[in-house]
Amino acid sequence: MIVNITEMYILLNYLIAIIVSITVALTLKLPLLPEEPRRFSWTTSALFPTPIITIGLLAIIYSINFFWICDGTVLAIIIAILSGLSVKYLFDYIFPKPNIGESNE
């Protein structure tokens, strides 16, 4: 079954997913911003990489034309909750922090 979803619904779902993922990350006590200096910081925060992972996963699911209930809104909320949880508990296992200042000798 082909579902006609307009661009407005997709943009609204992305916005909902971003807001929910940041809220979940802040609820799980992730900091809002990474520690100083931000340029060389490897700490996870609520603003990076949580919404980026949410948008990426949602874009992959929408690209295969999988819209679930309410034109994809429920799916956007579920993906946002799962990405917030994965950034809090699984991100350091998937992407380990680099060894800065240590030599390989």
Give mean pLDDT, residues 95-99.
80
Does residue 8 form part of some domain?
Answer: no
Does residue 89 form part of some domain?
Answer: yes
Q: How far apart are CA 44 and CA 58, in angstroms?
A: 20
pLDDT for 1 beyond 70? no
Does residue 58 form part of some domain?
Answer: yes
CB of 39 closer than 8 Å to CB of 75: no
Q: Please give the pLDDT value at position 37.
A: 73
Q: How far apart are CA 88 and CA 92, in angstroms?
A: 8
Full residue range of the structural domain in which residue 65 is found: 17-32+44-93
Q: Please give the pLDDT value at position 104.
A: 58
Does residue 86 form part of some domain?
Answer: yes
CB of 46 closer than 8 Å to CB of 31: yes
Return the closest-CA partner of residue 91 out of 55, 59, 46, 61. 46
Q: What would the pLDDT profile of 36-64 be if each residue is shown by its tens digit?
A: 776 767 788 999 899 999 999 999 998 88
Number of domains observed in the structure of the chain: 1
pLDDT band at 79 (very low <50, low <70, confident <90, very high): very high
Identify the residue whose tokens are 């034109």.
Answer: 71
pLDDT for 32 beyond 80? yes
